[in-house]
A and B are shown apart, each in its own frame.
Chain A
């Protein structure tokens, strides 16, 4: 994915948000939204960023619907388990270090945000490929077992992309 394709993608997303907010899909509204989106992207890339980040990450669009469905399922499962822990009250919060095999920085960001979004775990810090995770029910401090229990299938799905 090169720079121009990336900019076109951003323009399309801005246009979609504009059309949702304006609620009347006419050609005039679409033209105004498209020109505003192009102006915003041009301003952002020329004036604000000075082309500092020349690296554009590669994304696989096909895995994302599956990933989001799996994420929603995991959020509900972990939420119900957390309600059980609130009622019984036996919790052992602690901090564990885990390691990931992903190399792309964007995918590590997705993985960390998914860990934070799932109830019961919060990512605190990242250094390279090591993540520091605060865990509600800390059963083991071993790096591999804890990583297996926290990351689950998220990492496997992301590694395919």
Chain B
């Protein structure tokens, strides 16, 4: 029962991830792409790792997965921020989507 719930949560995470990839190819503006893609990726990462935690139950394995989750939550906004800042300070203009 526990394993089936975990599998359902992992499946929902894969669905989020597929929408993120769709967003990368759909928009023609760089800023729209980075806003859509990185963020859907955050949600998908949270959901898939939560699914693995539910599947494994309370053990040393789950504690390590929680550690990976905390590290990812700390560094993911930094990566998005520094890529966008690099593009903005290099003079890439925000255009309307055409």
Contacts and interface: CB of A to CB of B under 8 A. Distances in A.
Whether both chains belong to one complex is answered with yes
Interface of A: 17, 20-21, 23, 72, 75-76, 78-79, 82-83, 85-87, 89, 91-95, 112-113, 116-125, 134, 136
Contacts of B29: 93
A120 B39 contact: yes
B94 interface: yes
A74 to B, nearest CB: 11
Nearest to A19: B63
Contact of A21 (B36, B46, B64): B64
A123 B77 CA distance: 9
B81 A122 contact: yes
B63 A116 contact: no
Contacts of A72: 46
B32 A136 contact: yes
Given A93-B29, A122-B34, A116 B46 contact: no
Contact of B35 (A79, A83, A113, A122): A122
B84 A75 contact: no
Interface of B: 16, 19, 22-23, 26-27, 29, 31-32, 34-36, 39-40, 42-43, 46, 60, 63-64, 67, 73, 76-78, 80-81, 84-85, 88, 94, 96-97
5 contacts: A20-B60, A20-B64, A92-B96, A93-B29, A119-B42
Contacts of A120: 35, 39
A122 B80 contact: yes
Nearest to A85: B36
A95 B85 CA distance: 12
B94 to A, nearest CB: 6
B42 A86 contact: no
Given A86-B19, A117-B73, A93 B35 contact: yes
